[in-house]
Amino acid sequence: MPVMYNRVALIGLGLIAGSMSLAIRRGKLAGEIVGFAKSAETRAVAQEINLVDRVVASAAEAVQDADLIVLAVPVGAMGSVMAEIAPHLKPGAVVTDVGSVKRSVFDAVIPHIPTGVHFIGTHPMAGTEHSGPRSGFATLFDNRWCLIVPPEGVDQSELDRLCAFWRGIGSNIEIMEPDHHDLVCAVVSHTPHLIAYTMVGVADDLRRVTDQEVIKFSAAGFRDFTRIAASDPTMWRDVFLTNKDATLEILGRFTEELFALQRAIRQGDGQQLFDYFTRTRAIRRGIIEAGQDTSAPDFGRAPTKS
């Protein structure tokens, strides 16, 4: 694959930016990767592990002469970072973000985009519960979806180039409109995270079940909630503050379904429970058939001694 952008600037050096850097290198997609993160500590780690080609001390310096600028900071920080870099962008540069929410990022970022600079939103649908500069890995995006969210009036050739870049990183591409993106993500990502946070919180509050029992028997299902509920608190706080409407809508539907199942349990309506679980099992099968997860028992985890 040929070099697609001469200089790529990564603002933020956490899980997503770090994984992008490693995948960009693997695919030889950029001439140089420059990186900046807020804290001196993160910058020092990035330098130490050679995460990017050059770590710099300010966002302004990072975007100097950059052809592609990737905003890989928490959603709530996108607007201020964009305002800071705007005067330093070269004409013709492309700014993209990888935020988990799109409408609020559009509202915060687009007003600062200078004339002659392009903006296109993206959201790689891949992640782990880890964060920070040491958490990235080159294969994170392989065979995962990256949703590309162009603004109205996007430059078609820049859109095509960014799509090809994400394919080079390993992703499958789908173009989506911002509000629809936020609704889809509320269903497949945001609300499930909130439910996992809640379930782990409930277990923590239940003093009749000891902490040791919760940990010892967690493989019964709880463990997968705890993995999701270990996700970065800053990132997820910002997701819920900025994707409020869609998350509340899905949460409302979730609560109604939960009440219906609660009633079925109370009334001993086994048929309703059976039918419901049969429907949900088919969804799991669809995810496996689409290559988005493994059908191995226990998600392919190696058996542990207990």
User: Site residues (CB under 6 A) for ligand NAP?
Assistant: 11-17, 37-39, 42, 72-75, 77, 81, 98-100, 123-124, 127, 131-132, 232, 235
How many angstroms separate the CA atoms of 63 and 73, rounded? Answer: 15
Q: Which two tokens stand for residue 162?
A: 């960014």
Q: Which is nearer to ligand NAP, 74 or 168 (CB)?
A: 74
CB of residue 30 to ligand NAP, shortest distance in Å: 18
Q: Which is nearer to ligand NAP, 58 or 262 (CB)?
A: 58
Q: Which is nearer to ligand NAP, 1 or 241 (CB)?
A: 241
Cα–Cα distances in angstroms (integers) from residue 134 to residues 36, 97, 156, in the given order: 15, 20, 35
Q: Which is nearer to ligand NAP, 188 or 219 (CB)?
A: 188
CB of residue 151 to ligand NAP, shortest distance in Å: 18
Note the Cα 202 to chain centre separation in Å. Answer: 25
How many angstroms separate the CA atoms of 41 and 27, rounded? Answer: 28
What is the DSSP code (8-state) at residue 64?
T
The neighbour count for residue 84, using CB atoms within 10 Å, is: 15
Q: Which is nearer to ligand NAP, 132 or 264 (CB)?
A: 132
CB of residue 260 to ligand NAP, shortest distance in Å: 31
CB of residue 141 to ligand NAP, shortest distance in Å: 10
Strands 145-149 and 118-124: antiparallel
CB of residue 290 to ligand NAP, shortest distance in Å: 19
Q: Which is nearer to ligand NAP, 195 or 214 (CB)?
A: 195
Q: Which two tokens stand for residue 199?
A: 């379930």
How many angstroms separate the CA atoms of 82 and 111, rounded? Answer: 9
CB 186 within 8 A of CB 249: yes
**Residue 226: burial class (beta carbons within 10 Å; 0-12, 13-18, 19+):** middle
Find the radius of gyration of the CA atoms of the chain. Answer: 21
CB of residue 149 to ligand NAP, shortest distance in Å: 12
Q: Which two tokens stand for residue 131?
A: 């964060």
CB of residue 17 to ligand NAP, shortest distance in Å: 6
Q: Which is nearer to ligand NAP, 15 or 162 (CB)?
A: 15
Q: For residue 218, give every residue at least 6 positions away whose Cβ sits within 8 Å of its Cβ, in sequence order, or none.
A: 226
Q: Which is nearer to ligand NAP, 233 or 291 (CB)?
A: 233
User: Which residues face 274 on adjacent strands?
Assistant: none
CB of residue 237 to ligand NAP, shortest distance in Å: 11
- Helix 233-242 × helix 191-205 angle, to 10°: 120
- Helix 178-185 × helix 244-267 angle, to 10°: 30
